[in-house]
Amino acid sequence: MRRIPQLAALDRLLLQAGLAWTVAQFLGVSASALLAGLLLPQLWDLPTPAALAALAAGGLLPGGLLLRARAARLKKIEQQLPEAADFLGRALRAGHSFANVLQMAGEEMPDPIAAEFRFAHREINYGVPMNEALHNLATRVPLTDLRYLVIAVLIQRESGGNLAEILGSISRLIRARLKLLGQVRVMSAEGRMSAWILGLLPIGVLLVMTVVNPEYVRPLWHDPTGVRLMWYAAGISALGVCWMRSLIRIRV
């Protein structure tokens, strides 16, 4: 499995998501979900569009959950970064070395950011150079704000300067950016809600009609024209959701 380049990216995703799964375990779960999505529609005698939807759900569900766990963990680390920068700055002002500061942050700060600092400090103790350990930290946690912090530390180690003051400036910058991001999310909340409603409303109405009056909905599954209309409706709905997502997704 190590000979397949794509599995290295999958291993990195598992590490960023904070999951204790190995690549083999994740691939096994993905294969099981795909097999379930393939066999269950045949057992329940579902129509072709529903069978394809179940197959797609079985194939995409494990990867979607992995990406969701990764996004949630990275978001939590991003929220902890200002406090982490302040912590590092205070410890440096107290006279501790940067390696000891990493150890203190790993012991005293909450997870998940503490786990990343512990990992970096453990690498340094095992003989990894400081610069390489910090680069590995930025690779494991692909956040722009954390890269700013790492770059500041690397530049200070080569050119000198007041690292504690630099970390304080980075902390204020991150807090200002998170505040602006919160304002953007509040202003775009209506658009996100509209996207959810417009995306789920047709599916909900179709399910209700299938339960209340299945004969009325049957032509959509069995008549060729109805099946064609369902594909058109699904494509147009997906296009509309993607369009609204692009409108409300604002990078800060």
Q: What is the mean pLDDT of residues 187-215?
A: 78
Residue 31 has pLDDT above 70, yes or no: yes
Indicate whether 246 and 166 sit together in one domain: no
pLDDT at residue 48 tops 70: no
Check whether residue 141 and residue 217 sit in a common domain.
no
**Total tally of structural domains belonging to the chain:** 2
Q: Do 172 and 210 share a domain, yes or no? A: no
Same domain, 86 and 125: yes
At residue 250, the pLDDT reads: 66
Same domain, 126 and 210: no
33 domain residue, yes or no: no
- Is there a contact between 222 and 47 (Cβ–Cβ < 8 Å)? yes
Q: What is the pLDDT of residue 36?
A: 79
User: For residues 157 and 84, what is the distance between their CA atoms, to the nearest angstrom?
Assistant: 19
> Could you tell me which residue, 42 or 202, shows the higher pLDDT?
202
Residue 71 lies in a domain: no
Whether residue 95 has pLDDT greater than 80: no
- Per residue in 74-87, pLDDT (tens digit) is 888 888 888 888 88
Q: Are 153 and 135 in contact (CB under 8 A)?
A: no
Q: Do 145 and 196 sit in the same domain of this protein?
A: no
120-133 residue pLDDT tens: 888 888 887 888 88
Please identify, among 180, 212, 231, the residue that sits at the C-terminal boundary of a domain: 180
Q: Is residue 56 part of a domain?
A: no
More confident residue, 251 or 207: 207
Is 152 a residue whose pLDDT tops 70? yes
Token pair of 206 as six digits:
């179709």
Closest alpha carbon to 153 in 139, 173, 133:
133
pLDDT, mean of residues 5-15: 78
Task: Give the pLDDT confidence score for residue 70 in this predicted structure.
Answer: 85
Q: Structural domain of residue 233, as residue ranges?
A: 188-252
Rounded distance between C-alpha atoms, residue 225 and residue 74, angstroms: 46
Q: Is the omega angle on the peptide bond into residue 41 within 30 degrees of 0, that is, cis? A: no
Domain end residue (candidates: 131, 162, 180): 180
Q: Is 22 inside any structural domain?
A: no
Domain-located, residue 70:
no
Residue 161 lies in a domain: yes
Q: What is the mean pLDDT of the chain?
A: 79
- What b/e string do you get for 183-213 counting C-beta neighbours within 10 Å, with b at 16 or more? eeeeeeeeeeeebeeebeeeeeeeeeeeeee
